[in-house]
Copies of this chain bind each other. A is one copy, B any other.
Amino acid sequence: MYQENITALKKDAPIGVFDSGIGGLTVAREIMRQIPNEKIIYFGDTARMPYGSKSKETVTGFSKQIVRFLETFQVKTIVVACNTASAYALDELEKELDIPIIGVIKPGAKTAAEVTRNGRIGVIATEATIGSQMYNKYIQELNKNVTIYGKACPLFVPLVEEGLWEDPVTDEIARRYLTELIDIDIDTLILGCTHYPLIRSTVGRIMGDQVTLVNPAYETARELKELLQQYNILNEEEPHLGENKYQFYVSDGAEKFKRFANSIIKYGILSAKTIKIDEY
């Protein structure tokens, strides 16, 4: 638990960001946009992805290894850029760490609780995130007069990874998943998996204009900025030329990751390295 020794953290230290694979890049992209002076160490667990169909114990074990890896870079804070890992592992990681750590669920839950007018919020996410009921927990801590409807959408991740961001098949699958949320008249929908912002327009078209889509990637970057300000560790200076501002590590398939990452992040990812994560 971080508390007292927060003063020891350096402003120019990097931020650690991790995900089961590539979805967390939507969070990294928002951090790059909103706090462009920050250095980022990104880790994607491509050897063991996806997390969304796996158990709490397994996902927590994987997350602990990744945190140990990120700590070798003396990161000043860690962002769990994966809804499944945030749902399953955040509490336990928080206990072990002496630097701040944030997940993507709380920021998304907060925004949803604020923007709903009719008190009916939908959450679409992986099987694991929905099963954990963590969005429900956080939203109801903030607003008791809200009903939350969760819907697992297991095919969205493979469809996104196959590149079918705009496709009749994705439309058809999305229609099946979303119909019940339309029928119960939600006015707010949380995109509760970091892959989903990539099919935001499909989801938005099917849900209609009257439904507000909440993107936890955006909200997380905003909350991260506030947190860094609060502890006075926001990096005020642009990293020097030649400093490796954004570093990417994966547990498998660095070249493939780089190609996909470059289609999401337009900053130009120069390199990604493969490391053996189960040795941490």
Contacts and interface: CB of A to CB of B under 8 A. Distances in A.
When all copies of this chain in the complex are counted, the total is 2
Contact of A169 (B54, B58, B173): B173
A159 B170 CA distance: 12
A94 B159 CA distance: 36
A163 to B, nearest CB: 10
Contact of A278 (B53, B55, B157, B278): B278
Contact of A55 (B57, B58, B162, B252): B252
Given A47-B48, A169-B173, A278-B278, A54 B253 contact: yes
Given A48-B47, A54-B253, A162 B155 contact: yes
Contacts of A155: 158-159, 162
Identify the interface centre among A53, A57, A154: most chain B CB within 10 Å of its CB. Answer: A53
A77 interface: no
A46 interface: yes
A57 B278 CA distance: 14
A238 interface: no
A57 B47 CA distance: 10
A168 B251 CA distance: 36
Nearest to A163: B154
Given A154-B158, A169-B169, A173-B169, A252 B46 contact: no
A21 to B, nearest CB: 10
